[in-house]
A and B are shown apart, each in its own frame.
Chain A
């Protein structure tokens, strides 16, 4: 029997849903606080949760990630009398099925309930997926597990995928993993770095050319699109693809055939495209530097890779595995690692992401030589400095030079408190300067929309308009 949990402190609403669910033939439980709900879903699993946001012991939205994280992972419909755009966006981001505002008509709730349960039934009936081959992807953080889930979805289809993320987050690794887990795995995976080739060579490399197509084209040559036939083509740094090549590439995707430079013949190709970039392609479209029609084509699915600072829990595991791999490569003994060493690695923000971490580990192995254990002293100086929680020359610093918000008379705050205070002040000012426009705020701050919302939520600050 379908089991539904209604979390609402309004007795009228509870009564309404009790009758409705009874009529629909579903079992149900009622909870009027977050605490009561927690006790219930710790004891039993539910298929659907109807969740009010205004509960006596806090915002119901806080329960959503917990509910989705339980083994049963129920579908959740938000029922609220105080809805707003930001709340709805957060709810969808956390995986809510629907967001319904009070007052509502019977049909406005009965249909979403039916649809959510239909979706759940179909999902449960779907055959078990083949276990995902992770290739070299390391990490158990929520951020990386979510990406792996998306990766599995991408691998099970033949749709084009756009992988976005900062430099060093592992875009090529994910592209390879999509290929290796797809039905094309036994065929070629070819990666082309659009930023590494001069414009003049990029087109002939991709599309090939006929003899005499241009100066220096002494012989006919197949392009990589033909070589990738049956397999996956990865266009790395796709934002660097020149406009002329974008047009030809769009044509190839639409026609599923390649016309080599200087030729009239069409060569049929069957490729799956995975593109990657660290640029904002939507912005490039606005600036007429990237074709919108091509962006639609390459972004049938999007995989956003998190920066390493958003998955600090993975730093230790990545470091252990990479140190082991590097020690093997350099034929040196695997080293023990001191907790202080890990502490410094975990407190760094890694602007260069995993690539930066691996480079540091390579340096560490070289600097450690025959030392059997890695200590902070083996790290580059700038990384050791970043762990210092005090300013060693503070006592000699004139008051005027003290950082914002610090006063010699006040008690010196812990670093986290100071950081949080600055972050909150920054966000307040950001909201002012962007006049409540989220896109402008993202542009000014250089952080993604989802991260910005996460930060606003963390500091309990109001969000932006639609």
Chain B
């Protein structure tokens, strides 16, 4: 199973998550994308093989940019990490049709358990956390 971490500039929380995934879900490959252009290029390749994408959002503008790419998200599980819990931001985030929403001030254990569940579904077995 291959997942991409997409983060907009200005924060390095994705490194914390990457380390957690490496440690707790060693069968999942990750790599990080830093620009929307790069993300679009990857999703526009046939057979890109990405099952899930963890998207770090820092502001509403990031979501607006990503919404333009939603037609490319077919069959990709999107996990969204929002900077705050305001209703308008969450409403915007839901336009990306995420399978789960978390927040930057969480410790990512929720995301690890969601990724483990997705892995379990894809491979018929879970990992011991």
Binding site for B on A (CB under 8 A): 188, 190-191, 193, 195-198, 200-201, 205, 216, 218-222, 224, 227, 326, 329-331, 355, 362-363, 365-366
Contact = CB atoms under 8 A, between A and B. Distances in A.
Given A196-B77, A196-B117, A366-B47, A219 B105 contact: yes
Of all A-B residue pairs in the complex, the 3 with the closest CB atoms, nearest first, are A366-B46, A196-B99, A198-B113
By secondary structure, the A interface counts as: mixed
Contacts of A195: 121
B75 A355 contact: yes
Interface of B: 44-47, 71-72, 75, 77, 85, 87, 90-91, 94, 97, 99-101, 103, 105-107, 109-110, 113-114, 116-118, 121
18 contacts: A190-B94, A196-B99, A196-B121, A197-B99, A197-B100, A197-B114, A197-B117, A198-B113, A201-B113, A220-B85, A222-B85, A222-B87, A227-B90, A227-B94, A329-B72, A330-B46, A331-B44, A366-B46
Contacts of B44: 329-331
Contacts of B117: 196-198
A270 B45 CA distance: 41
Given A193-B99, A197-B99, A330 B45 contact: yes
B118 A221 contact: no
Nearest to B99: A196
Contacts of A201: 100, 110, 113-114
A88 B75 CA distance: 42
A218 B101 CA distance: 15
Nearest to A191: B97
A30 B101 CA distance: 66
Contact of B46 (A216, A219, A326): A326
B110 A216 contact: yes
Contacts of B106: 216, 218
A365 B46 CA distance: 8
A359 to B, nearest CB: 8
Contacts of B91: 188, 227
Give the interface centre of A197, A221, A224 by most chain B CB atoms within 10 Å.
A197
A362 B118 CA distance: 23
Contacts of A219: 85, 103, 105
Given A196-B114, A198-B114, 9 more contacts: A195-B121, A196-B121, A197-B100, A205-B101, A216-B106, A219-B103, A221-B85, A222-B90, A227-B91
B20 to A, nearest CB: 14
A190 B97 CA distance: 7
Contacts of B118: 196
A363 B77 CA distance: 20
A221 B47 CA distance: 37
Contacts of A362: 46-47
Nearest to A331: B44
A448 B64 CA distance: 44
A355 B118 CA distance: 18
A459 B87 CA distance: 59
A272 B110 CA distance: 28
